Structure 1
């Protein structure tokens, strides 16, 4: 797989995770703890994708 394609795929995955995270955060807006959990999960995913 060419390097450029891999980069594009990673960006696509990142965008997908981000959209899902935002959607879940909005869904549980009332529940602060849930939102914090999502943010922490999102950061962990970002770190994993950097490798």
Structure 2
């Protein structure tokens, strides 16, 4: 009984860590990618058209 409880607890921690971390990473990665794309687009226009 004790072993089962320990295994369940460890599994819960692992799944919660996996589910919480990738979401944050994906959001920050998406946000940084969009920011980089926007910044690159603006800099390209400044360089191309002398804005």
TM-score band w.r.t. shorter chain: 0.5 to 0.7
Instruction: Structure 2: give runs of 5+ residues left out of the alignment.
Output: 1-18
Instruction: Structure 1: give runs of 5+ residues left out of the alignment.
Output: 32-51
Which of structures 1 and 2 has the bigger CA Rg?
2
TM-score norm. by structure 1 comes to 0.53
Higher relative contact order (CA 8 A, sep 6+): 1
**How many matched pairs?**
31
Structure 1's consecutive aligned runs of 4 or more residues displaced over 2 angstroms after TM superposition are none
TM-score norm. by structure 2 comes to 0.53
Query: Cα RMSD between the aligned structures?
Result: 1.6
